[in-house]
């Protein structure tokens, strides 16, 4: 397929068009993360390699067994015996004679790598289980998949490619970049990310934006086109990926990359300047973070605090289950990395696309985003939930001693009754800490506004919450009845949709009428077009990926409150998302042409 780039004017081929999820341009060397479910290694082993491959599989199996036993013990102690039982099931699968016989047979007889043998095994069990009418057996394929994922992870440690042998900056190419994979990349010089799956609010997108890395998602089959070592271009503004570009195309995009980086670095010098509109109205620009590294980056980019600490990444990347002391230490590290700041800690937001096996991953749901997740799941595990609350309360005492403040945020609140229940749980946690003579401090309790029912009835809930944080990613998908990770309907998940703008306008005005602080911490807070509209609605507190703070600060300095209100008034009269986008593109070019480079709406 040949395509003319509107940025460079070059004819580029071959190219792929996907979803622009993190703006910027990068040219680098492809580094493909091939999971066992995506394009497994098809090479045949030499006779001399078979013994080593069997040994690698056995070593991975032993380490997987150790993982499962440790998890079973820890989950049984912290969550409950019933929840821990799933790991006994996984251990039985791992040690199953037929399971082991098939893997060894494919390695010895068919000369497959261990990873390829596991892939073949998964296909075998998937075909076997999906033919049955027994729903219980159908669900067992997920348990087999979990075991194979753990085995594959340990195999990849043994056979991990040497990224040092690759020349130049890297472009990570994967099916979907999971949190654990992102952590494993460490300090590797990653300049771009391309994924086959995902959306603007997927893990890969959030990770990319938090690091200021250009990224494109939704490129189906890209792992069949790209090999580690290939030259690849990522245009996160237009959603374009180019494999093996011509010298002319490569040169043009290298120039664009330099210009983008130069402009980003120029903006970064405003880190110590206050965030103000052109008519000197002060704003609060906070950062969304996943861990200590993000907190340090946020401080370096000029954030005035942490608007959202996604604690689930602490669980998703932890080898077992983080206990109270581990969580307390982690929260204290966030405080140390965020001097003189307010830090908003969100309780565990697991479910939907983020799961851990000891909290219901083995229970299939037809609609997981609308099901047993977030605060609903936490209520089902009160001791587990209380452990996190206790750790936050203890960390709050430490934060006050350091000149910081901690706020506690609860996800996916739907009803007033849930808020009352949360306050009871927090009170009990305080009473237990006092009885144990453990120091703690009170914290403001806030709700994450993601459910349309809560947004419509927000005036009835505000009397029992101390602050509100709008999670626009989920609010938009629930309001539009469209799964943001489903490519068939993801086009409906638009933060500039008229229905979204009308709902948020009402929510912000209602919060102001009740003198309740409100922040938008979804991805739209860092998108220039959406930022101007939120400013016009009366929002003064924004939380975003740290990489976007300099851009939004610069844009804010070029728009007055009166201008933002006028723009919002006109936008609210428009009938379609397309019309709103066109109008806001024109307004952004007039206010701050450079800001458009950093917008992905």
Identify the weakest region by mean pLDDT among 52-61, 190-199, 557-566: 190-199
Beta carbons within 8 Å of 337's beta carbon, 6+ residues apart: 292, 295, 296, 299
Residue 243 CA from chain centroid, whole number: 26
Q: Which two tokens stand for residue 479?
A: 């309001």
Burial of residue 201, with CB atoms counted within 10 A of its CB: 0-12 exposed, 13-18 middle, 19 or more buried: buried
Q: Is it the case that residue 366 has pLDDT exceeding 60? A: no
pLDDT category, 482, cuts 50, 70, 90? Answer: confident
Ramachandran angles phi, psi of 47, nearest 5°: -55, -40
Whether the pLDDT of residue 46 is over 80: the answer is: yes
- What are the boundaries of each domain within the chain? 3-35+175-264, 47-158, 278-593
Q: Which long-range contacts (CB under 8 A, 24 or more apart) does 318-322 make?
A: 319/67, 319/70, 320/70, 320/71, 320/74, 320/75, 321/71, 321/74, 321/75, 321/78, 321/79, 321/358
Q: How many percent of the chain have pLDDT more than 90? A: 45
* Residue entry with tokens 């009938």: 575
Which of these ranges, 25-39, 292-306, 381-395, has the smallest mean pLDDT? 25-39
8 A C-beta contact, residue 50 and residue 109:
no
- 47-158, what's its fold? Enzyme I; Chain A, domain 2 (1.10.274)
Please give the pLDDT value at position 498. 97
pLDDT band at residue 76 using 50, 70 and 90 as cut-offs:
confident
**Distance between CA atoms of 152 and 113, rounded to whole angstroms?**
11
The mean predicted confidence, pLDDT, of the chain is 85
What average pLDDT does the segment 173-197 reach? 74
CATH architecture for residues 278-593:
Alpha-Beta Barrel (3.20)
The CA–CA distances, whole Å, from 150 to 66, 104, 178, 203, 419 equal 11, 17, 14, 19, 38
Give 465's DSSP letter: -
Q: What share of the chain is helix, strand, coil (3-state, %, to 5)?
A: 55, 15, 30
CB contact at 8 A, 453 and 460: no
Mention every residue, 6+ apart, whose C-beta is less than 8 A from residue 115. Answer: 36, 40, 41, 152, 155, 156, 159
pLDDT in tens, 424-453: 999 999 999 999 999 999 999 999 999 999
CA distance 391 to 385: 10
Catalytic site positions: 203, 521
d(CA 480, CA 498): 11
- Residue with the larger pLDDT of the pair 468 and 294: 468
Q: What is the spatial distance between Cα 253 and Cα 264, in angstroms, rounded to a whole number?
A: 16
The mean pLDDT of 127-149, rounded to a whole number, is 69
First to last CA, the chain: 25
What is residue 368's predicted lDDT score, i.e. its pLDDT?
A: 56
Cα–Cα distance, 156 to 152 (Å, whole number): 6
- Global pTM? 0.75
pLDDT digits (tens, 9 = 90+) for 95-132: 888 888 999 999 998 888 888 888 888 888 877 776 66
Task: Locate 440 and state its tokens.
Answer: 């703690």
**Looking at residues 376-398, what average pLDDT do you find?**
92
* Protein fold of 3-35+175-264: Glucose Oxidase; domain 1 (3.50.30)
pLDDT in tens, 14-30: 789 888 888 889 999 99
Please compute the mean of the pLDDT values over residues 187-206 and round it to a whole number: 77
Note whether 270 and 554 are within 8 A (CB).
yes
Residue 325 pLDDT exceeds 70: yes
Q: Residue 158: what pLDDT?
A: 46
Strand intervals (E) in 420-487:
445-449, 467-470
- E strand segments, 374-417: 405-410
Radius of gyration of the chain (CA): 25
Q: Is the per-residue pLDDT at 371 higher than 70?
A: no
pLDDT on residue 8: 45
Among 139-143, 362-366, 469-473, 553-557, the least confident range: 362-366
């Amino acid at each position: 397929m040949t395509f003319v780039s509107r940025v460079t004017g070059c004819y580029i081929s071959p190219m792929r068009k996907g979803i622009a999820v993190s703006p910027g341009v990068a040219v680098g060397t492809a580094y493909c993360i091939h999971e066992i479910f995506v394009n497994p290694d098809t090479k045949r082993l030499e006779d001399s390699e078979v013994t080593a491959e069997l040994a690698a599989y056995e070593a991975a199996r032993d380490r997987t067994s150790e993982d499962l036993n440790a998890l079973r013990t820890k989950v049984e102690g912290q969550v409950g015996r019933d929840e821990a039982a799933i790991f006994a099931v996984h251990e039985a699968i791992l040690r199953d004679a037929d399971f082991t016989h098939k893997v060894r047979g494919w390695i010895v007889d068919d000369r497959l790598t261990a990873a390829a043998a596991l892939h073949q095994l998964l296909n075998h069990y998937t075909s076997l289980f999906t033919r049955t009418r027994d729903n219980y057996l159908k669900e067992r394929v997920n348990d087999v998949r979990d075991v194979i994922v753990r085995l594959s992870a340990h195999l990849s440690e043994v056979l991990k490619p040497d990224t040092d042998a690759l020349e130049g900056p890297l472009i990570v190419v994967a099916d979907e970049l999971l949190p654990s994979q992102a952590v494993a990349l460490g300090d590797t010089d990653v300049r771009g990310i391309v994924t086959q799956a995902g959306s603007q609010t997927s893990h890969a997108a959030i990770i990319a934006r938090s690091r200021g890395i250009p990224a494109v998602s939704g490129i189906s089959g890209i792992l069949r086109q790209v090999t580690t070592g290939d030259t690849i271009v990522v245009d996160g503004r237009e959603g374009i990926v180019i494999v093996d570009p011509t010298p002319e195309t490569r040169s043009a995009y290298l120039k664009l990359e330099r210009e983008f980086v130069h402009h980003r670095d120029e903006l970064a010098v405003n880190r110590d300047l206050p965030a103000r509109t052109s008519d000197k109205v002060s704003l609060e620009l906070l950062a969304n973070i996943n861990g200590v590294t993000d907190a340090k980056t946020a401080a370096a980019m000029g954030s005035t605090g942490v608007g959202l600490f996604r604690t689930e990444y602490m669980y998703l990347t932890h080898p077992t289950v983080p206990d109270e002391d581990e969580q307390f230490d982690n929260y204290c590290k966030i405080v140390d990395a965020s001097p003189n700041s307010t830090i908003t800690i969100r309780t565990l937001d697991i479910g939907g696309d983020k799961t851990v096996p000891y909290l219901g991953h083995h229970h299939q749901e037809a609609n997981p985003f609308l099901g047993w997740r977030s605060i609903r799941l936490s209520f089902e595990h009160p001791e587990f939930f209380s452990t996190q609350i206790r750790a936050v309360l203890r960390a709050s005492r430490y934060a006050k001693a350091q000149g910081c403040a901690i706020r506690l945020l609860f996800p996916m609140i739907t009803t007033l009754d849930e808020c009352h229940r949360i306050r009871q749980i927090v009170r009990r946690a305080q009473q237990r800490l006092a009885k144990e003579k453990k120091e703690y401090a009170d914290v403001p309790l806030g709700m994450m506004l993601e459910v349309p029912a809560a947004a419509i009835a927000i005036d009835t809930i505000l009397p029992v919450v101390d602050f509100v944080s709008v999670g626009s990613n989920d609010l938009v998908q629930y309001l539009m009845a469209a799964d943001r990770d489903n490519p068939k309907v993801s086009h409906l998940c638009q933060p500039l949709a008229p229905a979204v703008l009308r709902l948020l306008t009402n929510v912000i005005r209602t919060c102001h009428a009740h003198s309740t602080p409100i922040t938008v911490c979804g991805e739209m807070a860092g998108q220039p077009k959406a930022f101007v509209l939120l400013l016009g609605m009366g929002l003064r507190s924004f939380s975003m990926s740290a990489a976007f703070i300099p851009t939004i600060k610069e844009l804010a300095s070029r728009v007055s409150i009166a201008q933002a209100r006028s723009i919002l008034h006109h936008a609210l009269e428009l009938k379609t998302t397309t019309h709103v986008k066109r109008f806001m593109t024109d307004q952004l070019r007039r206010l701050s042409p450079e800001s458009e480079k950093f917008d992905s709406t």
